[in-house]
Amino acid sequence: IYFLDEDCPKLNNSPNPSVLQVKILSGRNFHHTTIRMNQVTVELYGIEKDSSSQKTEFSKAYDCCTWDEEFIFPLNCPELAVLLLTLRTVNLYGKEAFFGQVALPVNNIANGFYHVPLFNAQGKKFQGNKRHAGLAVFFKLRTVTGNLKKLLQK
């Protein structure tokens, strides 16, 4: 096993600092039997400087939700970053539960709009009525230059 040293100059002063824009638009095919409050947690894992977490507001629905919320993540080392999208639900009695998630390596994310399938706790796609539960998401990863590059490296 090899562990990367967080003090490594290459990791802390990456030649390619970037900004990842994630816009959670909507979700569908949740197949809830009652109205539930749904929330997406958007987490970024990587070197310590890059790791962060943000959440959408709650959206109330049976099967489809709309959020239309945007999150910006500065990245010093996008090569090591992983984006985790997790959907949690809260029923009418206030009980919170994990619904599904997906992990995406940031280097493999292409700019654009996507339907991102969600996976259950066993790592299988949700499938009900021959439709996969998922999120409609917009991604934009761009390399930073100039003054913003200096801010990211602080």
8 A C-beta contact, residue 26 and residue 135: yes
| pTM of the model as a whole | 0.81
Measuring CA to CA, which residue among 31, 10, 27, 19 is closest to residue 102?
27
**Residue 16: what pLDDT?**
67
Band of residue 154 on the pLDDT scale cut at 50, 70, 90? very low
Gap between the Cα atoms of 97 and 132, Å rounded: 19
Q: Mapped to the 3 state alphabet, what secondary structure does 4-49 carry?
A: CCCCCHHHHCCCCCEEEEEEEEEEECCCCCCCEEEEEEEEEECCCC
Q: Which amino acid is at 134?
A: G
